Amino acid sequence: MRIKLRAALLLGAMLGTAMLPMEAAHAMEKGKGKAESQKSKASPVVQKGKKEAVAEKSMVKPVAQKAKVEPLARTSSTKSSTNKNKVEPTAAKSVPGRHAMAAPVDRKDKAVVRVAKAESVHSVRSARVSQISKYAPLETSGGLTHAVQKRNLTRVLAGNVDFWQDPGRLAVQSGSALVIAQDSGEPLYEKNANAIVPIASITKLMTAMVVLDSMPNLQSPITISDEDVDYLRGSRSRLGVGTVISRETALLLALMSSENRAANALGRHYPGGLPAFVAAMNRKAASLGMSSSHFEDPTGLNSNNVSTAHDLARMVAAAHHYPLIREFSTTPGVRAEVKGRELDFHNTNQLVSSPTWEIGLSKTGYIQEAGKCLVMQARVADKPVVIVLLDSAGKQTRIGDANRIKRWMESASATGRLPTRV
């Protein structure tokens, strides 16, 4: 029995030893099956992930296309806050089969993009620079809006350059104006030139001609009396009542400084007195063809002294034939003795002292009804002209108008053509 029991135990031990590898193998196979089942279960998730990736890829494509025309940051988003100004434009094309992302661009690609961009910008600028004046250069940094603004500014500046070359755009602020070529009598510019208006102290040119036509003794003395004082407007004068001056000095001060008392005294000392003098003024006007003119006093303080720009141009042309009128009306200033005192008198037209003007005759005038007035004979752009400016409102308007006319004529002469009638 003992032998049989031992044999049975031994056989059982051998069988147990043989079953262990089989169980291990079975366990391994069972574990592998579980892993495969888990893998098969996980595969839909992976497929789903692939589909979502494809969907995301299709959604990203518009962003990649938009990046073609918008600037792309040089560095990654983590450094964008510190490098906001470091932006480079890209013109990269989408590559088939490659996901379009805002990834850093290769340095070679950057260089190619820069060259392409520079060539396109250069071509655009070259096309525009040909339309842009030197007064409005196209800046290197700026977009289309900036270029358009510059181009509009250029048009304005170009218009200003041609302002004086276009007679139709000559801006004269005086109410009445006339520019006449003295040699031919052809009007070059006129504005309300036939309007009959008060002429203020422009009257004194007629006064001077009538005085000189009577061929008086210019060295004989004349006395300023109370009759010469302006009680109508209260104009000031440094020639006090009782002042004795020569007729020549009175004529000088009347033409140069527009002295009203000197002018009135000249008319009062005319043969036959002041009424005869005023009658002689109107006869002289009629002889010159000044059909729209009328005079009532030798000073111009009376607003009934009226004329037109065309009539005054005739009067200026006639007065230019008198050497003393040319000399006295363009004298910048003198020092005269008045009642034992030496006083300085200055020309009322500041242009006679300007080195840019060549003025042969000048006279200013002002009363409230007439406004600021100015008549001149001058040589402008090597052409003798007569300029008449009446009814100017501003203090310097008549001077500004004269300078504008001068620049207009000089500009026309520089372009090789004469100003045409306007």
Higher-confidence position of 212 and 47: 212
pLDDT of residue 266: 98
CA atoms within 13 A on the CB side of 115: 6
Question: Does pTM top 0.85 for this prediction?
Answer: no
**pLDDT tens digit sequence for 102-126:** 344 444 444 433 434 444 444 433 4
The mean per-residue pLDDT over the stretch 55-69 comes to: 40
- Residues annotated catalytic, as ranges: 201, 204, 258
Share of the chain above pLDDT 90, in %: 53
- Does the pLDDT at position 227 exceed 90? yes
**Least confidently predicted of 341-345, 370-374, 401-405, 418-422:** 418-422
pLDDT of residue 47: 43
Total Cβ atoms within 10 A of residue 371: 22
**pLDDT tens digit sequence for 238-290:** 999 999 999 999 999 999 999 999 999 999 999 999 999 999 999 999 999 99
Instruction: Give the model's confidence band at 398: pLDDT under 50 very low, under 70 low, under 90 confident, else very high.
Output: very high
**Mean pLDDT over each residue of the chain, to the nearest integer:** 74
pLDDT of residue 28: 55
**pLDDT tens digit sequence for 127-182:** 333 333 332 333 333 343 334 343 343 333 333 333 334 444 688 999 999 999 99
- Burial readout 317-353 (b: 16 or more C-beta within 10 A, e: otherwise): bbbbebeebbebbbbeebebebeeeeeebebbbebbe
The mean per-residue pLDDT over the stretch 368-394 comes to: 95
The mean per-residue pLDDT over the stretch 386-407 comes to: 92
Helices (H), 306-361: 309-319, 323-329
CA–CA separation, 325 and 331 (whole Å): 10
pLDDT of residue 33: 52
CA–CA separation, 413 and 405 (whole Å): 12
Q: Where are the beta strands (DSSP E) in 119-199?
A: 176-181, 187-191, 197-198
Structure tokens at 268: 């009062």
pLDDT of residue 412: 83
CA–CA separation, 249 and 54 (whole Å): 107
